[in-house]
């Protein structure tokens, strides 16, 4: 209880009532609505943190706001309007809380990083250059829920091996756990590193018509070390699974929301609340985004969000497509005024 109260007090200090000068958001309203609808599906099917103290936004504010976005988008699709792109409507129908980061930056701006899914070429079997596998969960927990696996962590292979152990071939022929985990696809060393860093990767295999999508599934229980700049030194390791879309966070077995570029972000779910609607004003304008994803780097992190920017074939293509996105952003939490005039 002491820890919870201390956290609530800390979080409360990071948000204050402050109006947002709305402008037309950069990303299409249809994309925002699609992410909101699918995030609401994930939220409704699970029990997750509401984030901010209830005194700030109310215990159902996240779900109510997502439902409001979904309703407005559906009504506008029938009439041809686009109220979610109208600054006057946004100003009238959303309460705003300014997010003050827990790290000092000019203008009280948060750090805004960008993440992507790389489109790479892979192999169904290893060759000279494609010699790093994405591994499925070991066979000793293939039928276990995440809760069941956690309860048995002392005996499971996943918790036994570090990233370095897996890279050294623990599941390969001759390894200590040879044959106990299945390779999903084979990548070059560089693309394998990117898959672990980004969490999702699109892989084209010669002879196959459509790319394969893979997303992180469960990790080995080792905490992410933010002091390490060389990602190869991280001891945390992620196992992967095939997916039908680029998806954000979801509590197993509930699939996370399907993401769309520039309207979904990753961040600290405990502090902000899964599904929270946020407004980000950065160098290239205003974005409305849904907090639909997370990662190890966001634990206890109230100064950063990671903007999902889509599938890109290379770092150069990614940099060119996102060059105008600022490295910082002024951030607000938005809560729908569902009963206000003109907003019902």
For the stretch 164-212, pLDDT in tens is 999 999 999 999 999 999 999 999 999 998 899 888 999 999 999 999 9
Q: Chain-centre distance of CA 208, in angstroms? A: 28
List, in sequence order, every residue forming a beta bridge with 241; answer none if it has no partner: 215
**How far is residue 12 from each of residues 52, 56, 104, 110, 314, measured CA to CA in Å?**
7, 8, 17, 16, 41
pLDDT at 12: 60
Assess whether pLDDT exceeds 70 at residue 11.
Answer: no
**By the 8 A CB rule, do 287 and 25 touch?**
yes
Tokens of 275: 């599904």
Number of Cβ within a 10 Å radius of residue 196: 21
Assess whether pLDDT exceeds 50 at residue 1.
Answer: no
Q: Residue 192's closest CA among 172, 165, 163, 220?
A: 163
Mean pLDDT (whole number) for 262-268 = 96
pLDDT at 337: 94
| DSSP output for 198-261 | HSEEEEE-TT-SS-EEEEEEEE-SPPP-TT-SSGGG----EEEEEESS-B----TTSPPPBP-T
pLDDT at 344: 77
Q: Dihedral (C-alpha) 9, 12, 14, 19: value to the nearest 10 degrees?
A: -170
| CB-count burial class (<10 Å; 0-12, 13-18, 19+) for 125 | exposed
pLDDT at 10: 57
Between 3.40.50.10860, 1.10.1060.10, 2.40.40.10, 3.60.130.10, what CATH number should domain 2-115+254-336 receive? 2.40.40.10
Write the pLDDT tens digit of every residue in 114-141.
999 999 999 999 999 999 999 999 999 9
Assess whether pLDDT exceeds 90 at residue 231.
Answer: no
Is the model's pTM score more than 0.95? no
> How far apart (Å, rounded) are the C-alpha atoms in residues 293 and 257?
8
Q: Residue 249's closest CA among 288, 286, 211, 291?
A: 291
Q: Chain-centre distance of CA 175, in angstroms? A: 33
Assess whether pLDDT exceeds 70 at residue 5.
Answer: no
> How far apart (Å, rounded) are the C-alpha atoms in residues 134 and 122?
10
Q: Chain-centre distance of CA 70, in angstroms? A: 20
Using DSSP, state whether 181 is helix, strand or coil: coil
> How far apart (Å, rounded) are the C-alpha atoms in residues 326 and 128?
40
> How far apart (Å, rounded) are the C-alpha atoms in residues 70 and 24?
18
pLDDT at 6: 41
Write the pLDDT tens digit of every residue in 63-115.
999 999 999 999 999 999 999 999 999 999 999 999 999 998 888 999 999 99
Q: For the chain, give the mean pLDDT.
A: 91
Helix crossing, 61-79 with 29-44: angle to 10°?
140
Mean pLDDT (whole number) for 204-233 = 90
Domain ranges in the chain are 2-115+254-336, 127-198+216-243
Assess whether pLDDT exceeds 50 at residue 8.
Answer: no
DSSP state of 123: B
Give me the percent of the chain exceeding a pLDDT of 90. 74
pLDDT at 212: 95
Residues 6+ apart with CB under 8 A from 270: 49, 51, 299
Give me the percent of the chain exceeding a pLDDT of 70. 97
Q: Residue 158's closest CA among 175, 143, 177?
A: 177
State the residue for tokens 């001891």: 235
State the residue for tokens 């792109």: 85
pLDDT at 49: 72
Using DSSP, state whether 153 is helix, strand or coil: coil
pLDDT at 244: 92
């Amino acid at each position: 209880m002491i820890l919870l109260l201390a956290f609530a007090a800390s979080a409360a200090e990071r948000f204050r009532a402050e109006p947002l000068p709305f402008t037309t958001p950069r990303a299409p309203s249809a994309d925002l609505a699609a992410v909101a609808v699918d995030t609401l599906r994930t939220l409704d099917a699970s029990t997750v943190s509401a984030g901010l103290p209830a005194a700030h936004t109310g215990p159902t504010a996240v779900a109510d706001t997502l439902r409001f976005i979904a309703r407005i988008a559906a009504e506008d699709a029938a009439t041809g309007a686009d109220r979610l792109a109208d600054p006057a409507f946004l100003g009238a129908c959303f309460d705003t809380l300014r997010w003050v980061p827990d790290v000092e930056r000019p203008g009280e701006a948060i750090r805004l990083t960008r993440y992507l899914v790389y489109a790479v070429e892979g192999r169904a079997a290893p060759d000279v250059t494609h010699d790093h596998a994405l591994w499925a969960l070991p066979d000793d927990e293939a039928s276990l829920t995440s809760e069941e696996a956690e309860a048995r962590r002392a005996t499971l292979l996943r918790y036994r091996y570090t990233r370095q152990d897996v890279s050294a071939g623990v599941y390969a022929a001759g390894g200590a756990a040879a044959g106990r985990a299945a390779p999903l696809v084979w990548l070059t060393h560089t693309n394998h590193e990117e898959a672990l860093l980004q969490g999702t990767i699109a892989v084209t295999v010669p002879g196959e018509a459509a790319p394969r999508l893979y997303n992180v599934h469960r990790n080995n229980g080792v905490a992410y070390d933010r002091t390490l700049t060389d990602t190869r030194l991280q001891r945390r390791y992620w196992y992967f699974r095939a997916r039908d879309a680029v998806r954000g966070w979801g509590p197993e077995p509930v699939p996370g929301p399907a993401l769309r570029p520039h309207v979904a972000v990753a961040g600290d779910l405990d502090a902000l609340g899964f599904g929270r609607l946020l407004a980000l004003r950065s160098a290239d304008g205003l974005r409305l985004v849904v907090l639909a994803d997370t990662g190890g780097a966001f634990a206890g992190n109230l100064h950063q969000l990671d903007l999902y920017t889509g599938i890109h074939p290379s770092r150069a293509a990614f940099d060119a497509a996102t060059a105008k996105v600022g490295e910082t952003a002024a951030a607000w939490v938005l809560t729908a005024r569902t009963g206000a005039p003109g907003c019902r």
